Amino acid sequence: MISFRNILKPNASKNTALKASISKVIGYTPKNLNYYTKAFTHGSTNQKDSFGNSISYERLEYVGDAILSAVIAHFLFEKVLEADEGYLTKMRSKIVSREHLNEIGKELKLSSFLHTKIPITQFGDNIHGNLLEALIGAVFLDKGYAASEKFIYKRVITPHVDIDHLEGKVISYKSLIIEWCQKEKKHFNFESLTDAGQDIIKHFSVKLIIDEKTIAKARATSKKKAEEKVSKRAYFALQGKIDKSS
């Protein structure tokens, strides 16, 4: 298998190899290869476009996020006819949640395509979902809305969206833990710790204390992610008590 990481280097092989690799993922031959090159380029490469602007997948990620949200909203509107706005919003949030998109990005092995000077092992799980959104953005700019909708159905909706299953899926473990603590009148605190790791990308460490007892610890590439991660660990540690009170 040809790796995008090698193809994207300035002195790497021909564009035909890149087109072939991308075609396997998106299901058609790219029209403007430049969009897909950007979709898998990390800012650490310090590449610039002809105007001197930094090249990174993040701008395409922004576009892809908007297109994905619109396609999922339309899908739910047509699929669940009896649902009100609140239900539709909640279900869309579950489908486009970072955890869900990360799973899909991992399945497509998108991180193996990334051109970066930072080791892939130093990235958090969110890189998988971020690249998926960047790829959707590239498809939209290259082929338009209809093509991006088709891609989203092929790679996201058809294989991964099960309404019945998603109805019981937790969006935010942190919110769940906070709601439970408030309901049970328990004192809780997310305490930040000094992270002594040697990772190139900065990490944040957090521990969750409930009623003066440390329930779980976690670290991630942002404080928000670390708090969500530690909340998930706490949920499974306290699942019996939480489910019983719900």
Count how many residues are written for the chain.
Answer: 246
125 in active site: no
Where residue 126 sits, what CATH number does that domain have? 1.10.1520.10
Is the pLDDT higher at 97 or at 75?
Answer: 75
Which has the higher per-residue pLDDT, 18 or 123?
123
Both 233 and 156 in one domain: the answer is: no
CA distance 129 to 110: 9
Q: pLDDT (tens digit, 9 = 90+) per residue, 82-108?
A: 989 988 998 998 899 888 999 999 999
pLDDT tens for each residue of 141-151? 999 999 999 99
Do 60 and 140 have their domain in common? Answer: yes
49 vs 26 pLDDT, higher one: 26
State the residue for tokens 């294989």. Answer: 159
- Out of 167, 200, 229, a domain closes at 167
| Active-site annotation holds for 243 | no
Which residues fall within 8 angstroms of residue 100, CB to CB, at 6 or more apart?
A: 94, 129, 160
- The domain boundary, picked from 135, 167, 199, lies at 167
pLDDT at 10: 46
The residue among 64 and 53 whose pLDDT is bigger is 64
* Residue 26 sits in the same domain as residue 97: yes
pLDDT at residue 168, as a whole number: 77
Q: What is the mean pLDDT of residues 66-80?
A: 97
* Active-site annotation holder among 61, 125, 133, 227: 133
Structural domain tally of the chain?
2
For 27: left if phi > 0, alpha if psi spans -120 to 50, otherwise beta; the answer is left
Give the lowest-confidence range in 22-36, 39-53, 67-81, 195-209.
195-209
Task: Report pTM.
Answer: 0.71
**Catalytic-labelled residue, pool 49, 58, 61, 65:** 65
Q: 159-203 pLDDT, tens per residue?
A: 999 988 888 777 788 888 998 999 999 999 999 877 766 677 778
The pLDDT mean for the chain works out to 88
Which structural domain range is residue 111 located in? 4-167
> How many Å apart are CA 212 and CA 21, to the nearest integer?
53
For residues 46 and 105, membership in a common domain is answered with: yes
